[in-house]
Amino acid sequence: MNFDLTEDRRMLSDTLTRYLADRYAIGDRSRTAYAAPFHDPDRWTELAELGMAGALVPETAGGFGGTGFDIAVLFEALGRALCPEPFLGTLLASRLMLAADADQAQLISGARRFAVGLAEIDAPYDIGHIASTARRTGDGYCLTGRKTAVYGGQAADEFLLVALLDGAPAVFRADAAAVTVVGYGMIDGGGAAEVLMEDSPATLLLDNATAAITGAVTAGRLALCAEAVGAMDAAYAILLDYLKTRKQFGVVIGSFQALQHRTVDLLMEIEQARSITIAAAAALDGPDAALKSAMAKTLIGRAARLVAEETIQIHGGIAMTWDYAASHYAKRLIMLDHQLGDTDHCLDEVMQSYTA
């Protein structure tokens, strides 16, 4: 048993944390996160040069990481800085390409930005529900349908898109130019896109892809959980500082037991969130991966909402303002529950394990 990070991962975390603290101070971050293209292409390239995309990819595929703890360390640092760069799409793409044994050199170098179209608009959490279809053409395929909530899609060079091929889910590659991309910014910063396919040319990456898609979503959930842990840590630190400095009725508000006990409850839930994320990271390449990441995502959906709402409430009005960092952490903590299955959806997946 050892809960210390390895030397390599500590260095990865330190490097990334230093870089993000330097380049994504909260004011800079908000300017980047809320104006098209909702990320910074130059910094994306720098992050890739620092090895951050490669850290998501196993050595067998040309990277130098790819384990649950590599993913967790990286996304925790991203969460702490509210970094809007499109790493979630990169991770999802990397897992699908790994399943297809595809070359990931351009993903690792950052030369090409990938985004993944999984969800469909009328049942966005249900990865088994796919209406988009693929049609064989002479030398390839054409896709028709609409992909929704394609994270990083507003700035992607290439898409991996899920569509039915002969009734079974398959993953296709399509250049951004081959589809219609309707990009948008998100309320918690960063961007996504709707991807419209109208007989759009594509190549097949993987057929009968259900297991690979589940695996990608599992890794994506772990990443979001780790990101939430980083964001919760940061929000909690801001709150603690405020409790020690803000005075009302002639005393610091941290002297009020009504606030102390509620803050302790946040501390406990953050520790529980950290623990379940560790459990999901440790399980990522094993038979319990999907169950543990569903457990993590359902717990973190609850914990993140509590931390977000209580951080605002305990602060008071100041945390309602755009210029105060806690408000941005609160938005991210609430909205990441909307990605890849919310707390109820993931709870239901845990419940399914009871049905023999």
Partner 1 sequence: MDLTFTDHERAFQTEVRDFLATNLPAHITAAVRAGVELPREIYQEWHELLGRKGWLGATWPREYGGPGWTPVERYIFDVECSRANAPRVVAFGPHMLGPVIIEFGNDRQKAEILPRILSGEDWWAQGYSEPGAGSDLASLRTRADRDGDHYILNGQKTWTTLGQHANRIFCLVRTTQGGKPQEGISFVLADIDTPGIEVRPIRLIEGGHEVNEVFFDNVRVPVDNLVGEENKGWTIAKFLLTHERTNIAGVGISMQALDELKALARRMRRKGRPLIEDPLFAARIARVETDLEAMKITNLRMLFRAQKQGHPGPETSILKIKGTLVNQELRDLARRALGPLAAPFPGSVGETNLMFGPENSETNAATYFNNRKTSIFGGSNEIQRNILTKTMLGL
Contact residues for partner 1 (CB under 8 A)?
Answer: 1-6, 9, 69, 240, 243-244, 254-255, 257, 260-261, 263-265, 267-268, 271-276, 278-279, 281-282, 292, 295, 298-299, 347-348, 350-351, 354-355
Q: How far is CA 60 from the centre of its chain?
A: 23
User: Among residues 208 and 255, whose Cβ is nearest to partner 1?
Assistant: 255
DSSP code, position 119: B
Nearer residue to partner 1 within complex by CB, 282 or 325: 282
Helix or strand or coil: residue 107? helix
CB 311, min distance to partner 1, A: 14
Omega of the bond leading into 37 within 30 degrees of 0 (cis): yes
**Which residues, including other chains, have CB under 8 Å from residue 44's CB and lie 6 or more apart?**
85, 86, 110, 113
- State the nearest-atom distance from the C-beta of 268 to partner 1, in Å: 5
Between 173 and 292, CB nearer to partner 1 = 292
Q: DSSP 3-state assignment of 290?
A: helix
**Least distance to partner 1, CB of residue 331, Å:** 24
Rounded Cα distance between 168 and 130, Å, is: 9
Looking at beta carbons only, is 69 or 196 nearer to partner 1? Answer: 69
Give the nearest distance from C-beta 298 to partner 1 in angstroms: 6
What is the nearest approach in angstroms of partner 1 to the Cβ of residue 286? 11
Contact 232, 270 (CB under 8 A): yes
For residues 19 and 242, which CB has a smaller minimum distance to partner 1 in the complex?
Answer: 242
Give min distance, CB of 349 to partner 1, in A.
9
Task: Please identify which residue in the block is written with the tokens 């529980």.
Answer: 272
Nearer to partner 1 (CB atom), residue 20 or residue 281: 281
Which one, of 49, 52, 40, lies nearest residue 16 by Cα? 52
Cβ distance to partner 1 smaller for residue 209 or 281: 281
Q: How far apart are CA 348 and CA 337, in angstroms?
A: 14
Whether omega before 201 lies within 30 degrees of 0, making that bond cis, reads: no
d(CA 291, CA 297): 10
Q: How far is the CB of 281 from partner 1 (least distance, A)?
A: 7
Nearest in space to 300 (alpha carbons), one of 53, 65, 73, 76: 76
**Residue corresponding to tokens 């390409």:** 97
